[in-house]
Amino acid sequence: MSALIQIRGLTKTYGEGANAVHALEHVDLDINAGEVTMLMGPSGSGKTTLLSIMGGILSATKGSVQIAGREVVGMKPKALSKLRLQEIGFVFQGFNLFPALSVQENVEIGLELQGIRDRGAAAKLLEQVGLADKLRAKPADLSGGQKQRVAIARALAGNPPIVLADEPTAALDSTSGKLVIELLSGLAREQGRAVVVVTHDPRVLPYARRIIHIADGRIESEKEAA
């Protein structure tokens, strides 16, 4: 099976000359459908940089990055933006919901970006994440775990084959963290998506198919779960 994301010889340098920061060096990595891949490593090791490059929201300095079979290094911004919209769902540590909008409206924003105007689509996505009874609630009325589940529902608008999550459980207590990681894990195991989770949280490790450790911008080790 071919990888949904294939990275070869990836280098990312921020800035130039004396100010250059070598955030990633010589990274090779395949991300497969149907698997949860966890990226771990100390703060500043390059995890967010790597996830952003995987999602086509940050450009590589050197190397090759293929997303869903297409080389994105050197791709024109418009084509990249279209590929991103079709292939990737993003989930962030801080949820990034609009506080003035209802839960349903927050998901509709994701659907509108996809050109989907079906009135029932947001409700269906929210049902998938167990929030069918919260459509009219505002983010402030929800727990952290519920907010993250809204963000996951929004990320699934457009049915992306790849879901990228940056520290999705970092702001959550352990019960909500577990629900969120179970949900993300189901997106891989039951729905066949490729799910990549950047995490510091040892509680989520049992849900990983692969665990990749990054240190100083390099892949230090790669373990497959039994």
Contacts to ligand ADP by CB under 6 A = 14-15, 21, 23, 41, 43-49
Closer to ligand ADP by Cβ: residue 11 or 191? 11
Q: Compute the least distance from the CB of residue 168 to ligand ADP, in Å.
A: 13
Closer to ligand ADP by Cβ: residue 23 or 68? 23
- What distance in Å separates the CA atoms of residue 89 and residue 152, rounded to the nearest whole number? 8
Q: Compute the least distance from the CB of residue 211 to Mg ion, in Å.
A: 17
Closer to ligand ADP by Cβ: residue 107 or 197? 197
Q: Compute the least distance from the CB of residue 217 to ligand ADP, in Å.
A: 7
14 binds, among Mg ion, ligand ADP, none (CB under 5 to 8 A by kind): ligand ADP
Closer to ligand ADP by Cβ: residue 27 or 103? 27
Closer to ligand ADP by Cβ: residue 44 or 192? 44
21 binds, among ligand ADP, Mg ion, none (CB under 5 to 8 A by kind): ligand ADP
The H or E element spanning position 193 is none
For residue 57, give both structure tokens.
């929201």
Q: Compute the least distance from the CB of residue 124 to ligand ADP, in Å.
A: 33
- What distance in Å separates the CA atoms of residue 136 and residue 118, rounded to the nearest whole number? 17
Task: State the binding string over 30-49 for Mg ion (x if CB under 5 A, else -).
Answer: -----------------xx-
Closer to ligand ADP by Cβ: residue 47 or 149? 47
Sorted by sequence, the CB contacts under 8 Å of residue 221 that are 6+ apart come out as 212, 213
Q: Compute the least distance from the CB of residue 48 to Mg ion, in Å.
A: 3
Number of helices (H), then strands (E), in the chain: 6, 10
Residue nearest to Mg ion (CB): 48
Do residues 88 and 103 lie in contact, with contact meaning Cβ atoms separated by under 8 Å?
no
- What distance in Å separates the CA atoms of residue 117 and residue 137, rounded to the nearest whole number? 21
Helix segments in 40-199, DSSP class H: 47-54, 77-87, 103-113, 121-128, 144-155, 174-189
Sorted by sequence, the CB contacts under 8 Å of residue 62 that are 6+ apart come out as 9, 10, 11
Sorted by sequence, the CB contacts under 8 Å of residue 44 that are 6+ apart come out as none
In degrees and rounded to multiples of 5, residue 107 shows phi and psi of -75, -35
Q: Compute the least distance from the CB of residue 198 to ligand ADP, in Å.
A: 7
- What distance in Å separates the CA atoms of residue 170 and residue 44, rounded to the nearest whole number? 16
Interface contacts to Mg ion, rule CB under 5 A: 47-48
